[in-house]
Structure 1
Amino acid sequence: PMTVLAQIGLILLMFQIGSDFEFGHLAHRASKRAVGLIAAFSVAAPLATGFLVGQGTAAILAPGIDALAYSLFVAIAFAITAVPILGRILREYGLTRSRIGVITISAAAINDVVGWVLMAAVVAFAGSGFSWVHSGAQMAGLAGLVLVLRLVGRPLIDRLMRRFPVVDGQIPTPLLAIVLAMVFAAGIATQKLGIFTIFGGFLLGLLFHRHDRFVAAWRHQIGQFVLVFFLPIFFTYTGLRTDILGLASAAEWMWCAAIFIAATLAKIVPVYVAARLAGLDPHQATIAGVLMNTRALMELIVLNIGLQLGFIPPKVFTMLVIMAVATTVMAGPLLRLLLHRQGHPVDRLLDA
């Protein structure tokens, strides 16, 4: 039952993340070169590093699991950046409208989309036994689903919004019922394609981002319930699968530390280099690296998929969970320190 509830919660959460997605960040004219460079470096370098780490540790940490599938999942885990938590950090520190804030959230948005597409491709490829024909058919099916959602789903949603308008911040019951049915139908469709259910929720959510009233009402009516009921279940579910005591030897903790260091450097250093190439000063480049290193919930979702599909073993799952939590927790203190040095009024903002 906990597994089912966690999956339902994730589908609804991914729908909300999709509907909250700010496409405006991608079209922002300011600092486009910086956004492009940071996005490219923040995906390519961690992917390559993660894949090499996977190849180097497969025989030691993941015996009995296909080395290619394992390496691809480690690569995805290294590349993930969590847009939702990044947005909250920017708001907390008053950086939402700053140049560095706009650049990092824009780059993270691109990183997020590319990451989920790569995740879908990896699941299709690994799940098909690395058959190019079968995985190609799955990706073609996914492309067909995206096309159907764009050509049929989007006009249908527009009609639904006109037929059942949101009034006083409340979603009409018929509209809510239809949308929930559409969310789970999209999840079933992607599952049938051999990918994973939550990707369907994310795709459908992207179609709703233009309807601001609906998105705000959903966040108030459904989103809060998802956060206070389903999300704790998912965290509990993840916690029960995370066996920290299972890392019993010093060697395993050394591997855990090595994975954390590799994942952190694979994000911060390339982002710093990209930001400097784009003309940002060293301080801003460091801030960009720290911000892009946040992984949080998105990473946990990816790791649970990998464990569920059998592409990462339990001990590596635990190591990567520790890495995800640590890279997210360290972002706040590091950012505060960097902002202090830059003369940013961080204390006043946090105390306000």
Structure 2
Amino acid sequence: MHTGKIDIEVLMLHLLPLLAFLVAIARLGGWVALRLGQPEVVGEILAGILFGPSCLAALWPAGFAHFTNPSVEGLPGGTLPLVIKVLSQIGLVLLLFLIGLEFDFSHLKVSGWGTAAISLTGMALPFGLGFALGQVLHGPLTQSMEKPPPPFTFCLFMGVAMSITALPILGRLLVEWGVARTRLATIAITSAAIDDASGWIFLATVAGFAHAQIEGGTYSASSLGTMAGLSLAFLALMVWVVRPVLAHITRWLLAKNQGQPSLALLAVLMITIFGAAAATSWIGIFAIFGAFLTGAILSGERELAMVVQKNLRLFVTAFFLPIFFASTGLRTQIGTLSGVVPVLAAVAVLGAAVVGKWGGCLVAARYTGFSWREANILGLLMNTRALMELIVIHVGMELGVLPDSMFTILVIMAVVTTVMTTPLVRRFAAGTEFAGLKLDGTLPDEKEQPRENPPGAG
């Protein structure tokens, strides 16, 4: 074990090949996933997991250790994983800005009682099942942690983790399938948007409880009150002060440069993103919330959104996302599931997640007038978790709410609930607007247009 001063040249010698490898396996994984009819993100996530201790380390322990955590002269042990973690967090901040920027608040205008019922059930039932499951699993799974989270915080987090829907991935799937304009897609996107907006609020609440924890597993009421007050003040500042000023500046910069990006524009955005992220980190509700809020307050600026999509998203997706998935893979340890209790916990979590989302939305959709096949499609779409779930569980890990075993269980749940979406939607597509769905996203019959009065729309 080498300790002491870090030599930048030695660090770069080990870091750059690792980064090249991570980007390469992510692209390869995404390519394979697309060929199998799955979203790219599924392959990228699995590539990250295969890179981690669950696969590569088991097959080649010495090589894995030297490649991911070398301890040589000029590079103390633990340095490279720390750099990867920092890059992963920076990428997460930028990704959350993009997600906020893409968030269409018009979807929050509920189009009917059917949509409201699907959204409410799709949030409440999995949240309740997750919270109840957390009460059962808290003791057995957190007892090995150096500082176990209080039961209420753990249960609250489990509820949030179960109730999330991957809105960005869901939107991309519907576009790729060529069904984004159908009534089923519209209702699914609306319901997912409402669920995700609620999920971010709940996740911020979990972060607040985790930071307000004091010795003995209790909470400081004054800390919670201060955090809530600062959060509301920051929200007001962003909405009523930063938003109009930032919108004016970005419009002026775009007009000055004939709608093209400029260094000044990107600099203004980066300063605001990182400043807001630092502010929410200081408040105690995690840096990503500031980044998400920065994107959300600019979501109405469509010209800006298009420019950012062209110039920032590609880089974040190509470079930072593979690092994030690799970071997830390094933390995913299938070995932590050895034993009866962890395996039963994994089965219970997966079962509760699927029953809560798919089952809950299915029942709500049937009750509001959708056919059996349509209700199943809506339930499956809402059951897609993917990247958003990984973001949530990374927050839980950073807050010290999740043990290693539960982190691994939730990663598995995120992958399984996403992988099952495409084949099962095809299974129920006959007789619906999704009939004839193909891998290339085309529909042989022209069924993209929604009916005038879909069930639950009025």
**Same-fold call, TM > 0.5?**
yes
Task: Give CA-to-partner distance per residue, 1:23-56, whole Å, 9 cap, x none.
Answer: 2222364xx2122111111111111100100001
Equivalent runs, 1:68-83 vs 2, <5 Å? 68-83=152-167
Please give the alpha-carbon distance, in whole angstroms, between the structure 2 residues aligned to 1:301 and 1:162.
31
SS at match of 1:170: coil
| In the alignment, structure 1 residue 35 sits paired with structure 2 residue 115 | yes
Note if 1:267 corresponds to 2:352. Answer: no
Identify the residue that residue 160 of structure 1 maps to in structure 2: 249
Question: One-letter code of the match for 1:14?
Answer: L
Partner of 2:437: 346
Bigger Cα displacement from structure 2, 81-90 vs 246-255: 246-255
Q: What's the secondary structure of 2:441's corresponding residue? A: helix
| Aligned equivalents of 1:308, 1:200: Cα separation in 2 | 16
Q: Kindly indicate whether the alpha-carbon contact (under 8 Å) linking 1:11 and 1:187 is maintained by their aligned counterparts in 2.
A: yes
Question: CA separation of 1:16/1:261 partners in 2, compared to 1, >3 Å: closer, same or farther?
Answer: same
Aligned to 1:18: 100
Matched, 1:50 2:134: no
- Corresponding position of 1:142: 231
Task: Answer 1 or 2: which has greater helix percent.
Answer: 1
Alignment of structure 1 residues 80-95 onto 2, 5 Å: 80-95=164-179
Report which of the two structures shows the higher radius of gyration computed on alpha carbons.
2
Whether the aligned pair in 1 keeps the contact of 2:130 and 2:155 (CA below 8 Å) is yes
**Separation of aligned partners in 2, 1:306 and 1:158:** 33
Aligned match of 1:334: 424
**Distance between the aligned counterparts of 1:88 and 1:300, measured in 2?**
17
State the alpha-carbon separation in 1 of the partners of residues 265 and 286 from structure 2.
Answer: 25
Give the AA of the match of 1:344. Answer: A
State which drifts further: 177-186 or 161-170: 161-170
Contact map agreement 2:336 2:342 (CA 8 A) in 1: no
In structure 2, the CA distance between the partners of 1:277 and 1:230, relative to structure 1 (3 Å rule), is: same
What value does the CA root-mean-square deviation take over the aligned residues? 1.7
Distance in 2 between the 1:34 and 1:97 partners?
18
Contact 1:340 1:346 in 2 (8 A): no
Gaps of 5+ in 2: 1-82, 214-218, 444-458
Amino acid corresponding to residue 13 of structure 1 in structure 2: L
CA gap of 1:272–1:3, structure 2 versus 1, over 3 A, is same
SS of 1:97's equivalent in the other structure is: coil
Distance of 1:335 and 1:109 partners within structure 2: 20
Q: Which residue of the partner structure matches residue 111 of structure 1?
A: 195
CA contact (8 A) 1:9 1:226 kept: yes
Unmatched runs of 5 consecutive residues or more in structure 1: none
Q: For 1:98, which of 176, 179, 182 is the aligned residue?
A: 182
Deviations 1:249-299 (A, max 9, x none): 244223212211111101111111221222222211111110101111111
Q: Which residue pairs with 2:303 in the alignment?
A: 213
The structural deviation recorded for 1:137 is: 2.1
Contact 1:169 1:216 in 2 (8 A): no
Q: What's the offset of the Cα at 1:312?
A: 1.0
Preserved CA contact (<8 Å) 2:110 2:116: no
Change in Cα spacing, 1:153 to 1:334, as seen in structure 2 (3 Å) is: same
Question: What letter is aligned with 1:76?
Answer: V
1:162 corresponds to which letter in structure 2? R
Name the SS for the 1:346 alignment partner. Answer: coil
CA distance in 1 between counterparts of 2:139 and 2:438 reads 48
Q: With the length of structure 2 as denominator, give the TM-score of the two structures.
A: 0.73
Would you say 1:301 and 2:391 are equivalent positions?
Answer: yes
CA contact (8 A) 2:164 2:388 kept: yes
* Cα distance change, pair 292–214 in 1 and its aligned pair in 2 (3 A): same
Out of 57, 60, 64, the residue aligned to residue 140 of structure 2 is 60
CA distance in 2, matches of 1:255, 1:150: 42
**Cα displacement (A) at 1:103:** 0.5
Residues 222-259 of structure 1 show CA distances to partners (whole Å, capped at 9, x for unaligned) of: 11000000000000001000001332224422321221
CA distance change for structure 1 residues 313 and 142 in 2, over 3 Å: closer, same or farther?
Answer: same
Give the conservation status (yes or no) of the 8 Å contact 1:43–1:79: yes
| Match of residue 133 from structure 1 | 222
Change (3 A) 1:133 1:284: farther
CA distance in 1, matches of 2:414, 2:349: 10
Give the residue type in structure 2 aligned to 1:325: V
CA distance in 2: counterparts of 1:42 and 1:97, whole angstroms? 22
Partner of 1:181, secondary structure, is: helix
CA distance, structure 2, for counterparts of residue 173 and residue 332 of structure 1: 41
**2:277 alignment partner, SS class:** helix
Aligned counterparts of 1:38 and 1:137: Cα–Cα separation in 2 = 35
Counterpart CA distance in 2 for 1:303 and 1:6 is 14
Paired residues, what number?
350
**SS of the residue 2:429 aligns to:** helix
Structure 1 residue runs of 4+, over 3 Å off?
A: 166-169, 340-343, 348-352
**What amino acid is the match of 2:438?**
D
